[in-house]
Amino acid sequence: MSYDYETIQVNHQDHIVEVILNRMDCGNSFNPKMFEEIGSIFSHLETCNKTRAVILRGAGKSFSYGLDLKQSMSMLKPLLQGGLAQPRNELRLLIEKWQNAISAPARLKIPVIAAIHGWCIGAGLDLISACDLRFCSQDALFSLREARMGIVADLGSLQRLPKIIGDAATRELALTAKDIDAQRAMQLGLVSAVLDSPDELWQRAHEEAKCIAANPPLTIQGVKHILNFQDGKSIGDSLQYTATWNSAFLQSEDFAEAIAAFIEKRSPQYKGK
């Protein structure tokens, strides 16, 4: 399957899809077109039944330098020059449009693995915080630096990072706008592992994606759904919902295949049915 994108590259390998930020000439910074195309590819993947795991990474020397201020300001400038309700509402709608694109990995029913090398700044950090798993290479550097630019971070980091690294660490990164290295990111729990090189990072990301893809796809989608659902809910409410979920979906061909494969001491072949 081929895709006609300007700012991202998409690769298929068996049940795994790579989505690669591909504006190497400007550090994979986010321009309006990239926001649009990220939203587009994840909307497509939502309906792609063959895909069981997604890897998100950047081409070139870094994951992303964040927002492309030069290109984005051409769209933002008319909305920042005073005015009353109309330009302010248009600005709000634009921000919400970009928020929607950055949130796409979190909404996707399929698990998304972020593989980060080099710089991961601003909108890049927003994007990886919407992913399910995060790994980085030793050269990775992270920065929630909007405060340096006179902006309150508005694309998801302030909402998602407290659940990933805790409230205190999020306040530290957001209020100081400082840079942290891979080891500090690992210490905070932002990433699950630090690999020695980008090549080892890509290998680890694919290994994890293969592990996910080897499991029954509807079950994996159910796990992600439950984890997302229980946010803000009581344990009791989440347990009740999970019981209802399993009562609806447990009777599947994949469940029968798992039992048969266990009894017959063979590898299961899941079909997502």
**Structure tokens given for 178:** 């400082």
The number of C-alpha atoms within 13 Å of 13 and in the hemisphere containing its C-beta is 9
Q: What is the pLDDT of residues 68-94, one digit of tens each?
A: 887 766 666 665 666 677 777 888 888
For residues 265 and 224, the model is more confident at 224
CATH number of residue 85's parent domain:
3.90.226.10
> In terms of domains, do 83 and 125 share one?
yes
**What is the structure's pLDDT at 80?**
63
Summarised one tens digit per residue, pLDDT across range 13-23 is: 889 999 999 99
Same domain, 72 and 105: yes
Does residue 2 carry a pLDDT above 60?
no
pLDDT tens, 186-212? Answer: 999 999 999 999 999 999 999 999 999
β-pair type (179-181, 193-195): unpaired
Q: Quick one: pLDDT band at residue 143, thresholds 50, 70, 90?
A: very high
In a domain, 272, yes or no: no
Q: How far is CA 33 from CA 24, 76, 82, 159, in A?
A: 14, 14, 26, 24
pTM for the model stands at 0.90
Residue 270 within any structural domain of the chain: no
Predicted confidence at residue 41, as pLDDT, reads 96
The whole domain housing 93 covers 8-213
Residue pair 121/178 in contact by the 8 Å Cβ criterion = no
In 139-181, beta strands by DSSP E: 141-143, 179-181
62 lies in a domain?
Answer: yes
What is the reported pLDDT for 144? Answer: 96
Residues 199 and 221 in one domain: no
CB 15 within 8 A of CB 213: yes
Are 108 and 54 in contact by the 8 Å Cβ rule? The answer is yes
Q: Do 132 and 232 reside in the same domain of the chain?
A: no
The residue type of 161 is L
**Residue 89: C-alpha distances to residues 67, 79, 95, 123, 240 (Å):** 21, 9, 10, 22, 40
- Residues of the chain with pLDDT > 90, as a percent, come to 65
26 shares a domain with 117? yes
On whether both 222 and 134 belong to a single domain, the answer is: no
Return the DSSP state at 67: B
Indicate whether 1 belongs to any domain: no
- pLDDT score at 100: 95
Q: Residue 72 falls within a domain, yes or no?
A: yes
Q: What is the CA radius of gyration of the chain?
A: 20
**What pLDDT is attached to residue 231?**
84
Same domain, 148 and 258: no
| Residues 128 and 204 occupy one common structural domain | yes
pLDDT tens for 116-142 read 999 999 999 999 999 999 999 999 999
Q: What are phi and psi of 166, to 5 degrees?
A: 95, 160
Residue 182 burial (10 A CB sphere; 0-12, 13-18, 19+): buried
User: How is 178-203 classified by DSSP, letter by letter?
Assistant: -EEEHHHHHHHTS-SEEESSHHHHHH
Q: For residue 258, count other CB atoms closer than 10 A to its CB.
A: 16
Q: What angle do CA 182, 173, 134 make, to 5 degrees?
A: 40
H/E stretch holding 189 reads none
Q: CA–CA separation, 89 vs 147, rounded Å?
A: 23
Are residues 238 and 132 part of one domain?
Answer: no
